[in-house]
A and B are shown apart, each in its own frame.
Chain A
């Protein structure tokens, strides 16, 4: 008997190697990228933001586990995807959202938007945004009608985007800086453009997210705003454009996977955001633009790059070889001597 027979031998198709990256690791990196936004949200909006975030994460994880238990599936909350949905939902809610509404949003996100469609990777619409959309249309008074200003701790109804819409916004350089740094009214995680840019850089450098869709989305909004004579800088700083572009447009399951598909996806999100902001009934359009484009992802996946063997480089121009080798000469001499 060969000695190897004493071992437990495994069989599997090639390759017999993996780089060790797992779904859980990717999700953990995304959570790390979201932490600065969470911390800053708590810093400017206080304990209410902290409660919202914690309740949202706990709710999302519990609802997913509960749903999987009831539907007799393996409980997979350890992959951290439900936790991310929880964090994302909290970060796109105003800090004044009642706790029970947060939980309702969680339930809608992980059960209706994700679980019903087959769970991780099978959902069509971004769960966190679907949860938010559900709350947005169900409780318009709590979401979007009034905003907490961290500077004064007072509630006001006007935001820059609504002012822009009404034409009453007057720009001054201090406002831009304030909006860049993030000490302003808004959803918990969307206010600091600086931190979002840091997260974006981190996620792009770790190759967790692809730059394509975020870039085309922001570029499209900027271009269209510029073309219609709007305030390009404020269009990018105010509202949830950059947050959405960094964390929502890059959602794996609900965005296209192909490079060209992602470019078009981002551009579509940008276009719809602009249209809603400019002509729609709401001051902000990031949420609906992404949800609408989510529906098109499956179609956008048909856009692919040219495969190897089909492109320009495969159609080699017929050309004479540059150099005559000594073997050519020898062969020719041999032919001649015959």
Chain B
């Protein structure tokens, strides 16, 4: 079975929600709070308070190439345009729309992805506001247009879904395999590449469904399903290329440097919808789970739905048991101060964890057990990074791999002293980036004044 060295085996907890079909849900307040920017360069709002907007209409965009427009996910009236708490506990400009219950839509006209021009196809993907739906929210049209001179040999559909609890990719593949295969085929056509669908072994039951869908479409020679070992962080693109192809993505480089392009399951579905239905990315499926959830489930909601507005109609919680609200998975997700934050294009799950499930303990001194070194999927030395950051020796920390850290959390997971290693590394990276930028600015200033002297 394909895998990589290092990594961890956290309890999966996928059984909580894996057998629940994706159901459509709508906020009880009939209100959505859509962040103006969801991936790429900051957008400008193109609607005003009081405007009537139609589902699918662009409400924010930017003229920058590296950006993705945002569309109204419901038909109704713009109520507010002001900062609102988003994932990460920060405030970000959001457009609040109150739905008027109308079914009116303003979708684009369908486009045949296999006969249209590659340029038009990329434009369609941009116009549909498609970004990576795994969390990073990188604009997809940029990803599908790799820098000149790099050849994409493989498009990997990342269906590893290695984060515990999350089952949304699994459900999507199970319920909508045809759409996934179609979306992947569109990407393959654009890249002229071979497709690999990577499934973790705990989802091996999908093998039949996927192979059927592939043979039905006649893409049998162009794509294949490969089973990878169930292990965290198998779904990280760096570990995935290593496991599947024995290739490492060079430090600081994009997957394209290793001839690979990695796509999320939700993203390829959105691509298929954008061409076949002309529908922009205005809704997304996600997993609602965790021990404090009365009924863990998989739902599909309009982008911008406030999680709090789904309680208690859609999400029933065990009274007084919620200790952590997490946007994303338990390994890399954000702990939120409350549930009033919008589901964005990159939200793959919202978890309500009990105190027993999560760990709430104090740090103790590092004993030098080196468990973190064994667990690191990037072959770094987390303990030494933490020690050198403590003494502000960032140069040495870089040698130990500070800037190569993917923040997967494997080191913190195994640390017997419960040291918040990932937090230390985020801090360290931030310092290094700030210093590099300052040094650059200084050098530039010196260069410009140097001429006048």
Which residues of A come within 8 Å of B, CB atoms?
2-23, 25-26, 76, 79, 81, 119-122, 207, 210, 252-253, 255, 257-259, 301-302, 304-311, 313-316, 321, 323, 325-328, 330-331, 334
In the complex the two chains form, is A3's CB within 8 Å of B312's CB? yes
- Chain A residues within an 8 Å CB radius of B322: 4, 7, 9
Given contacts A257-B384, A316-B257, 12 further A-B pairs with CB under 8 A are A3-B311, A5-B338, A9-B337, A12-B360, A16-B330, A307-B380, A316-B259, A321-B151, A321-B153, A325-B194, A326-B221, A327-B185
Of A13, A257, A331, the contact of B381 (CB 8 Å cutoff): A257
Which of A4, A207, A314 counts the most chain B CB atoms within 10 A?
Answer: A4
- Chain B residues within an 8 Å CB radius of A210: 370
Q: Is B244 an interface residue (CB 8 A)?
A: no
Of A6, A15, A310, the contact of B409 (CB 8 Å cutoff): A15
- State A259–B373 Cα separation when bound (angstroms): 9
- Chain A residues within an 8 Å CB radius of B332: 14-15
Minimal Cβ-Cβ distance residue in B for A311: B248
- State A255–B367 Cα separation when bound (angstroms): 11
* Chain B 406-431 near chain A by CB (<8 Å), digits 1 or 0: 01010011111110101100100000
In the complex the two chains form, is A325's CB within 8 Å of B364's CB? no
Which residues of B come within 8 Å of A, CB atoms?
8, 10, 89, 114-115, 118, 151, 153, 164, 185, 188-189, 191-194, 219, 221-222, 238, 242, 246-253, 257-259, 292, 308, 311-312, 317, 319-326, 330-340, 351-353, 355, 358-361, 364-371, 373-374, 377-381, 383-384, 399-401, 404, 407, 409, 412-418, 420, 422-423, 426
> What is the minimal beta-carbon distance from B447 to any residue of chain A, in angstroms?
31
> What is the minimal beta-carbon distance from A8 to any residue of chain B, in angstroms?
7
In the complex the two chains form, is A2's CB within 8 Å of B331's CB? no
Provided the pairs A15-B413, A308-B379, A313-B247 are in contact, do residues A10 and B324 lie with their beta carbons within 8 angstroms? yes
- State A259–B370 Cα separation when bound (angstroms): 9
In the complex the two chains form, is B381's CB within 8 Å of A252's CB? no
Of A22, A253, A302, A309, the contact of B251 (CB 8 Å cutoff): A309
- State A323–B220 Cα separation when bound (angstroms): 13
Of A257, A301, A313, the contact of B246 (CB 8 Å cutoff): A313
CB<8 Å pairs between A and B, sample of 6: A4-B317, A10-B355, A12-B324, A25-B416, A309-B253, A313-B248
- Chain B residues within an 8 Å CB radius of A207: 374
Of A22, A119, A309, the contact of B404 (CB 8 Å cutoff): A309
- Chain A residues within an 8 Å CB radius of B414: 18-19, 21
In the complex the two chains form, is B422's CB within 8 Å of A26's CB? no
In the complex the two chains form, is A314's CB within 8 Å of B251's CB? yes
Which of A17, A307, A327 counts the most chain B CB atoms within 10 A?
Answer: A17
> What is the minimal beta-carbon distance from A310 to any residue of chain B, in angstroms?
6
Provided the pairs A11-B335, A18-B412, A306-B379 are in contact, do residues A316 and B258 lie with their beta carbons within 8 angstroms? yes
In the complex the two chains form, is B368's CB within 8 Å of A15's CB? no
Minimal Cβ-Cβ distance residue in B for A253: B368
In the complex the two chains form, is A9's CB within 8 Å of B325's CB? yes
- State A10–B114 Cα separation when bound (angstroms): 50
In the complex the two chains form, is A7's CB within 8 Å of B238's CB? no
Which of B194, B252, B336 counts the most chain A CB atoms within 10 A?
Answer: B194
- Chain B residues within an 8 Å CB radius of A17: 10, 164, 330-331, 358-359, 409, 413
Provided the pairs A257-B368, A308-B242 are in contact, do residues A19 and B413 lie with their beta carbons within 8 angstroms? yes
> What is the minimal beta-carbon distance from A99 to any residue of chain B, in angstroms?
30
Provided the pairs A13-B420, A18-B415, A309-B404 are in contact, do residues A23 and B364 lie with their beta carbons within 8 angstroms? yes
Minimal Cβ-Cβ distance residue in B for A324: B192
Which of B368, B412, B415 counts the most chain A CB atoms within 10 A?
Answer: B368
In the complex the two chains form, is A314's CB within 8 Å of B248's CB? yes
Provided the pairs A252-B369, A308-B238 are in contact, do residues A10 and B384 lie with their beta carbons within 8 angstroms? no
- Chain B residues within an 8 Å CB radius of A328: 192
In the complex the two chains form, is A16's CB within 8 Å of B378's CB? no
- Chain A residues within an 8 Å CB radius of B331: 14-17
> What is the minimal beta-carbon distance from B327 to any residue of chain A, in angstroms?
10
- Chain B residues within an 8 Å CB radius of A6: 319-320
- State A259–B251 Cα separation when bound (angstroms): 21
Minimal Cβ-Cβ distance residue in B for A309: B251
- State A218–B413 Cα separation when bound (angstroms): 33
Of B321, B368, B369, B373, the contact of A7 (CB 8 Å cutoff): B321
Provided the pairs A18-B413, A313-B246, A331-B192 are in contact, do residues A13 and B365 lie with their beta carbons within 8 angstroms? no
Which of A11, A25, A210, A327 counts the most chain B CB atoms within 10 A?
Answer: A327
Of B242, B253, B335, the contact of A313 (CB 8 Å cutoff): B242
Of A2, A4, A23, A330, the contact of B189 (CB 8 Å cutoff): A330
In the complex the two chains form, is A4's CB within 8 Å of B258's CB? no
In the complex the two chains form, is B323's CB within 8 Å of A10's CB? yes
Which of A210, A258, A309, A311 counts the most chain B CB atoms within 10 A?
Answer: A309
Minimal Cβ-Cβ distance residue in A for B260: A316
Of A122, A316, A325, the contact of B247 (CB 8 Å cutoff): A316
- Chain A residues within an 8 Å CB radius of B325: 4, 9
In the complex the two chains form, is B358's CB within 8 Å of A10's CB? yes
- Chain A residues within an 8 Å CB radius of B321: 7
- State A81–B364 Cα separation when bound (angstroms): 13
- Chain B residues within an 8 Å CB radius of A308: 238, 242, 248, 251, 377-380, 404
> What is the minimal beta-carbon distance from A218 to any residue of chain B, in angstroms?
20
In the complex the two chains form, is B404's CB within 8 Å of A19's CB? no
In the complex the two chains form, is A9's CB within 8 Å of B324's CB? yes
- Chain A residues within an 8 Å CB radius of B238: 308-309
- Chain A residues within an 8 Å CB radius of B333: 14, 16
- State A17–B355 Cα separation when bound (angstroms): 11
